[in-house]
Structure 1
Amino acid sequence: MTTSQQEHPYSRALTNVVGTTIFFSRWLQAPLYLGLIVAQGVYVVLFWKELVHLIQDFGHMTEETIMLIVLGLVDVVMIANLLIMVIIGGYETFVSRINMRGHRDEPEWLSHVNPNVLKVKLAMSIIGISSIHLLKSFIEAERLDNDTLMWQTIIHMAFILSAIGLAWIDKMGSGGHSPAPQHG
């Protein structure tokens, strides 16, 4: 073997250092997930603030106002669910295992999370959140112009088509088979 065909020891060491650095760079995402936990805390405060407002003032509210506040509460819960999926699923997929396997509170979806499954779940959550906003707009339709309602509906349909596309791509990528559910 000639020297040009042999790997130089410095080259191998440099390759190892670069590879290790790239591998450990995933930990740069950990503060982002911690920040999302803080954002979720803000949503918890918002939820309780709106719930207290509903309880204190419901006697002076119309049914429409109560419905809008309740839809707002549902919206906050759905956004919090979205945050949990991003925090847990993203951390588990891209940073490190959480090692909660077998824990009685382990979310069912965590056992088969991967980037494609996470994308489909996120898309479905976004559709749910969009549905709440669209429903709120239809309830308040007399205060909105037709163009606003039309564009909100078009955007909502775009979310639906995107989710269908992501699910189709995921199904095609898995050979048309969904992962078998794992039961504990």
Structure 2
Amino acid sequence: MKRLESAFEHVLFASRWLMAPVYFGLVLAMLLLLVKFGKEIVHLFASILTASGGELIIGVLSLVDIALIMNLLIIIMFSGYENFVSKMEDLHSHRDRPDWMGHIGFSDLKLKLIGSIVAISGIELLKAFMNVANLGDKHLGWMVGIHLTFVVSGLLYAAMDRLASKGH
């Protein structure tokens, strides 16, 4: 029976590698976002002479939005891989290795995720306010409500995380 239990535990432990293709899929998603970023910047430069200041600001905010999402994907890929799949031992001495790598735990990752969602939601809300003439009150109300929900959720999660860490 002990041998069966040990074999099961080894299979269970090895199953963490099923996440590796998921992290590679996020790399592919970053490539898609890079194409979208390139498309946005080409559009921005093409309309530089005809676009209003508000349209240019919305275009730049779209670029910032994509950059935030890509940064978030990097954090999720690196910390998720190191927390759940395998340590990146060969990269510990790499000169370009980010300082935060290997130091972000699952709780930190969730806080960074909710913080990024709040930032992305805030940018989307700002873009909507820049285009307020084309949006209805109901639409704007929903956007503000959703953003406030993200903000409150983030604050509550951070408070719960802080309370939980005091208990340890």
TM bucket (normalised to shorter chain) is over 0.9
SS in 2 for 1:110: coil
- Which stretch of the first structure deviates more once superposed, 91-100 or 66-75? 91-100
Corresponding position of 2:97:
106
> Alpha carbon RMSD of aligned pairs, Å?
1.5
Pair 1:65 & 2:75 matched: no
Q: Secondary structure at the match of 1:174?
A: helix
Work out whether 1:24 is the aligned partner of 2:14.
yes
The separation in 1 between residues aligned to 2:6 and 2:114, in whole angstroms, is: 38
Q: Distance in 2 between matches of 1:46 and 1:61?
A: 20
Q: Find the counterpart in structure 2 of residue 48 from structure 1.
A: 38
Structure-1 separation of matches of 2:87 and 2:66? 28
Query: Where in structure 2 are there 5+ consecutive unaligned residues?
Result: none
> Counterpart of 1:175?
166
Write out aligned runs for 1:152-167 (5 A).
Answer: 152-167=143-158
Q: Is the 8 A contact 1:117 1:170 kept in 2?
A: no
Q: Which residue of 2 is the match for residue 135 of structure 1?
A: 126
Number of equivalent positions: 167
Q: In structure 2, how many angstroms separate the alpha carbons of the residues matched to 1:104 and 1:128? A: 30
Q: Which residue of 1 aligns with 2:73?
A: 83
What do residues 129-172 of structure 1 show as CA deviations (whole Å, max 9, x unaligned)? 00110001111111111111111111111111111122112212
- Per the normalisation by structure 2, the TM-score is 0.93
Structure 1 portions without partners, runs of 5+ = 1-10, 178-184
- Regions of 4+ moved over 4 Å: none
Structure 1 length as normaliser, TM-score?
Answer: 0.86
